[in-house]
Amino acid sequence: MFKNASHRVVLSGLLVAIGLLLPYFTAHAYGIPGTVFLPMHIPVFLIGLLCGPMYGALGGILIPFLSSILTGMPPFFPMLPIIMGELFTYGLVSGLLYHKFRMPLYPSLLISMLCGRVIYGLVFTVLLMANNGVLQALSVTGALIKGIPGIIIQLLLVPVIVSVAHRYFHFSTEIKTLSFEKAKQMIKDGKVSCVIIKNDKIIRTASGQGVSPLLLIYENEPEILQDSFVVDKIIGKAAAILFVLGGVREAYGLVMSTAARTYLKARGYQADYGELIDNIANRTGDGICPLENSVLDIDDPETGYHLLKQTLKRLRSAG
């Protein structure tokens, strides 16, 4: 999980180290110029997309600077200032677009690549003018043509790595968006009880008692829950089990039980709340909700799901 400052610092440091090693093992060791595969670009994009604009910008400066000092590549002049400007822009812009503006992954990557090339051209032009029109460096066009293999690799590899971080490590940008605020307000106004968000867009709302709306979505349209951000009126352990089964990426409860929060946190999920309570009460308020009670001691989500179904069937029969 890369959700707080210390995690982001560690991840950024790891990617900076990879950025120093990658050029040697993918290019220099085989006599291939770094301008072909562009190995420094990938770690910088990853820092920006996974850790945010500040870390991305810093990584974009540190990787080429340290590499130049330690290995002599890129040469201190004129390539180092050109590459530092380019990579600084990659890390900053990709982080801003993906984190702050919540732009989808591919557009964030493509726009940051374009912005980086613009800065490359600007720095190249300034150095060219300052050096009386003579500069031993690839022009923007030359760098773009020569780096086509690297650009293709970036477009194929970077989104896959970021997607894996989201899916298997439950990575969260922790950015609260307009859709999130709208979802909370809809629930507070009593219009819905559950809102599902993907790519900062509300894709489904549901109303109903307890976990029934979530249960119906999981059983009939499980793909909606996959990698989603769910905002719910009340999140107890029963809902948390359905989140795990459905592959929900992040959850926010206006009210959340300690059992639900503990269950989700133990599995690496981002779980935030407006109010934290000990237990979800039943409808009469004189005890624990029977659905919650049925799964309080259950860890396996599949087992919990079947117990929820049995309990719900029994309650409906009794009602």
Return the closest-CA partner of residue 212 out of 114, 289, 119, 102. Answer: 289
Is the same domain home to 101 and 159?
yes
pLDDT of res. 29:
62
- The residue-averaged pLDDT of 2-26 equals 83
Residue 149 in domain: yes
Q: What is the pLDDT of residue 186?
A: 94
Supply the pTM of this predicted model: 0.59
Residues 25 and 102 in one domain: yes
Q: Which letter does DSSP use for residue 29 in this model? A: G
Encode pLDDT of 131-181 as tens digits. 888 888 888 898 889 989 999 999 999 999 988 886 656 455 444 456 888
* Same-domain check for residues 149 and 236: no
**What are the φ/ψ torsions at residue 52 (nearest 5 degrees)?**
110, 170
CA–CA dist 62, 84 (Å, integer):
8
Is the pLDDT confidence value at 277 over 50? Answer: yes
Task: Indicate the number of domains in the chain.
Answer: 2
> Residue 175: its pLDDT value, please?
43
Residues 299-318: tens digit of each pLDDT: 999 999 999 999 988 888 87
Task: Tell whether the model's pLDDT for residue 3 goes beyond 50.
Answer: no
Residues 79, 33 contacting (CB under 8 angstroms)? no
Domain end, chosen from 145, 168, 191, is at: 168
SS3 299: coil
Q: Mark whether 270 and 161 lie in a shared domain.
A: no
- What's residue 293's pLDDT? 92
Give residue 43's domain range: 5-168
Domain shared by 140 and 199, yes or no: no
Handedness of CA 281, 286, 291, 293 (dihedral sign): positive
In a domain, 173, yes or no: no
Last residue of a domain, one of 141, 168, 195: 168
> pLDDT by residue (tens digit) across 36-83?
889 999 999 999 999 989 999 999 999 999 999 998 889 999 999 999
Residues 6+ apart with CB under 8 A from 169: 1, 2, 268
